[in-house]
Amino acid sequence: MTRSTRQRERQAETETEDDEREGVRGCPECDSENLVKSADRGELICEDCGLVVEEENIDPGPEWRAFNHAERQQKSRVGAPTTQTMHDKGLTTTIDWKDKDAYGRSISSKKRSQMHRLRKWQERIRTKDAGERNLQFALSEIDRMASALGVPRSVREVASVIYRRSLAEDLIRGRSIEGVATSALYAACRKEGIPRSLEEISEVSRVNRKEIGRTYRYVSQELALEMRPVDPKKYVPRFCSELTLSEEVQSKANDIIETTAEKGLLSGKSPTGYAAAAIYAASLLCNEKKTQREVADVAQVTEVTIRNRYQEQIEAMGIHG
C-alpha cells in the first residue's frame, strides 16, 4: 500500500517536471492548444481567448526589422563566410579604403592620414611570420591565375585546399611556391570537371609547362588525389563556343568521341588533340567547315596532331574522306 502510493507520487512529480521542461502545452484559461508567438513583443498568446500565456521571452532574432532582401543585406552586421582562398580564412578585420565616417560624411585630412597609417599597419600585421606571408602570396597567385582562366569560385576553393594540404605535408620544400600553386590549380580544375590543358595553365603562370607537369605529378601522388583521365568531351563545348559552331556539330563531335573511344583509340592520346580532331571531323560532316589551323589555334595543338587523330577517327567510324 505504502509502496504503491510512493510510486504514484514519484510518477506525478516526473510528469510535472516533464511538463515544465516541455513548456506550456495549452491555454490555462480555455484549454486551447492554438497558441501563437508574437515576434515583436516576445509573448505567447492564445488565439482563441486572447490570454497572454507567457511574456518577456528572449527573442533570438536581430533588433532591427527588414521588409525585403536589399534592406536585410544593408542592415545585417555579420561578416562574410569563411573561405580557404585567404590565408586567414577571411576572419581578420578590414579597414575600408573610403575616407568616410559611419554616416557617409568625408573625414578631415588629419583623420585621413591617421586612417591611412592604420590601414598600412593592418595589412602588415595580418601575417605574423614568413610562413603566413608565403601562404598569402601563394593563394593570391591561385586567385590571379583562376581569374585569368575564368574558372568558377569552387575551383579556387579546391585549389586553396590542395595547396594547404601540400604545405601541411611539407611538399613545398625545394620547390617554387608558384610551381606548387599552379599545380594545385591544375589539379582543382580536373577535380571539378572543368579541365584546362597544361598549355593554358602555363600561359597564365610564371613557371614553365615542364615544371608544372612535374610538380603536379609529385603533389597528386603524395596527396593520393586519385585523378581520373580527362574526358575529351569536357573540352568540346568550350572549343565549339570559341569556334562559333552549332549545337549539331557539338553533338556530332561527342558521338565521334564516344564511338571511337569504345574501340580503344583514346588510349595514350592527348584529350585536347582528340577533342579537336572530333570537332574538325564533325564540322566537315555538318557542312560548317573550319580549317585545321583554326581548330588547332583554339585547342592549342598542332595541325599534325589534328590530321593524325582525324584519320584514325574517320577510319574507325567507317567514313572515307
Co-location of 222 and 236 in the same domain:
no
Domain boundary among the residues 171, 204, 228 is at 228
> Is residue 274 over pLDDT 90?
yes
Q: Does residue 74 lie in a domain region?
A: no
Distance between start and end Cα atoms, the chain: 104
Percentage of residues in the chain with pLDDT exceeding 90? Answer: 43
Query: Domain range spanning residue 181?
Result: 81-95+108-228
Q: Does residue 65 lie in a domain region?
A: no
Backbone CA torsion sign across 89, 90, 93, 95: positive
Co-location of 88 and 191 in the same domain:
yes
Co-location of 276 and 139 in the same domain:
no
CA-nearest of 318, 320, 312 to 266 is 312
Co-location of 91 and 224 in the same domain:
yes
Percentage of residues in the chain with pLDDT exceeding 70? Answer: 87
Domain boundary among the residues 203, 228, 253 is at 228
Co-location of 264 and 222 in the same domain:
no
Co-location of 196 and 274 in the same domain:
no
| Higher-confidence position of 61 and 235 | 235
Residue 165: what pLDDT? 93
Residue 79: what pLDDT? 67
Confidence class for position 92, pLDDT limits 50, 70, 90 = confident
> Is residue 46 over pLDDT 90?
no
**Overall number of domains in the chain:** 2
Q: For the domain that residue 260 is a member of, what is the CATH number?
A: 1.10.472.10
CB of 220 closer than 8 Å to CB of 296: no
Average pLDDT of 91-120?
85
| Higher-confidence position of 320 and 285 | 285
Residue 60: what pLDDT? 66
Residue 19: what pLDDT? 45
| Range in 27-41, 222-236, 259-273, 299-313 with the lowest mean pLDDT | 27-41
Co-location of 224 and 298 in the same domain:
no
> Is residue 2 over pLDDT 60?
no
Co-location of 112 and 215 in the same domain:
yes
CB of 63 closer than 8 Å to CB of 42: no
Co-location of 245 and 274 in the same domain:
yes
Q: Does residue 18 lie in a domain region?
A: no
Co-location of 243 and 167 in the same domain:
no
pLDDT in tens, 7-17: 555 555 554 44
Backbone angles phi, psi at 51, to 5 degrees: -70, 135
Average pLDDT of 182-197?
91
Average pLDDT of 75-87?
76
Q: Does residue 144 lie in a domain region?
A: yes
Q: Does residue 305 lie in a domain region?
A: yes
**Which residues have CB under 8 Å from 148's CB, separation 6+?**
204
Residue 59: what pLDDT? 65
Residue 16: what pLDDT? 46
Indicate the residue type of 236: V
> Is residue 182 over pLDDT 80?
yes
pLDDT in tens, 133-179: 899 899 999 999 999 999 999 999 999 999 999 999 999 988 999 99
Tell me the Cα Rg of the chain.
Answer: 32
Query: Residue 272 has what DSSP assignment?
Result: H
> Is residue 1 over pLDDT 50?
no
Backbone angles phi, psi at 147, to 5 degrees: -65, -40
> Is residue 291 over pLDDT 60?
yes
Q: Does residue 286 lie in a domain region?
A: yes
The response to whether 189 counts as a known ligand-binding position is no
Co-location of 91 and 200 in the same domain:
yes
Indicate the residue type of 101: D
Co-location of 199 and 305 in the same domain:
no
Q: Does residue 188 lie in a domain region?
A: yes
Q: Read off the C-alpha cell for 301.
A: 595543338
pLDDT in tens, 196-240: 888 889 999 999 999 999 999 999 999 998 888 888 999 999 999
The response to whether 286 counts as a known ligand-binding position is no
Distance CA 234, CA 279 (A): 12
CA-nearest of 145, 152, 140 to 204 is 145
Residue 70: what pLDDT? 81
Name the H helices within the chain.
2-22, 69-75, 109-125, 130-149, 153-168, 177-191, 198-204, 209-222, 236-242, 247-262, 271-285, 292-299, 303-317
Backbone CA torsion sign across 253, 276, 234, 148: negative
Q: Does residue 190 lie in a domain region?
A: yes
CA–CA distances in Å: residue 295 to residues 26, 79, 239, 277: 74, 46, 8, 8
Residue 148: what pLDDT? 93
